[in-house]
Structure 1
Amino acid sequence: MNPEPLSTLLEENQHGVVIPCWIQPKSSRDSIVGIQGDAIKISITAPPVDGKANACLCKYLAKIAGVSKSSVRLISGQASRRKLFQIDNISKQQLLDKLLAHSR
């Protein structure tokens, strides 16, 4: 994945980074697929039922970023494929490096 378009999607703030995500639920594995419009496309194994996909994505983002699950929170898109997550305690460059390392 090209780091330049990915970098423009991430927004750093005083707490960490806001990351826009486009979710593909019920996939064979959790993975970063690429860029979908103005969001990072991520496939996850969980179905979009009872918040399972959101919880799975939160856990996956925490794993990629190397932060605790409590440092990752959904800020918009509870029932949508397009979501915004806040990841605390990480810089934009650190998150960019980790996303690139985990992309297909």
Structure 2
Amino acid sequence: MVELREKNGNAVFVVKAQPRSSKSRICGAYNGGLKVSLKAAPVDDAANRECCKLFSKVFHIPLSRVHIISGSTSRTKTVMLEGISSVAAAPVIESYC
């Protein structure tokens, strides 16, 4: 189960990133967060951009509204979806678990 939090009306959750995969996708729940495979390598912030792009597509929101608020240099990241509440994000995230 993914632990969703809300910060100032925005959904916040933990992501475990696995860079250099064959394709970018959400793999499922992992230790209270989501595990994602990212095609990009963790070089020059490419994996972080790929992670934001993935959640932008999944939630159908502009890329500018997806933020990595902590863990930009780590595989464990905290992602915030600006303008989406945790209540609205829960069904989308649960569909991947």
For normalisation by structure 1, the TM-score amounts to 0.84
How big is the shift at 1:90?
A: 0.9
* Match in the other structure for 1:100: 94
| 1:44 and 2:38 matched | yes
Aligned AA for 1:92? S
* Greater percentage in helix: 1
Residues 9-29 of structure 1 deviation map (CA, whole Å, 9 limit, x = unaligned): 110222311121000111111
2:50 corresponds in structure 1 to: 56
Determine if contact 1:67/1:89 at 8 Å carries over to the other structure.
Answer: no
Aligned-partner Cα distance in 1 for 2:90–2:16: 17
CA RMSD of aligned residues (A): 1.5
Confirm whether residue 80 of structure 1 aligns to residue 84 of structure 2: no
Distance 2:26 2:33 in 1: 11
Identity, % of aligned pairs? 31
TM-score by length of structure 2 reads 0.89
Structure 2 Cα separation of the partners of residues 68 and 45 of structure 1:
20
Which consecutive unaligned segments of at least 5 residues does structure 1 have? none
Cα deviation digits, residues 46-88 of structure 1 (max 9, x gap): 1111100000001111111111111111111011000001111
Q: Distance in 2 between matches of 1:92 and 1:66?
A: 15
Aligned length: 97
What is the deviation of 1:93?
Answer: 2.6
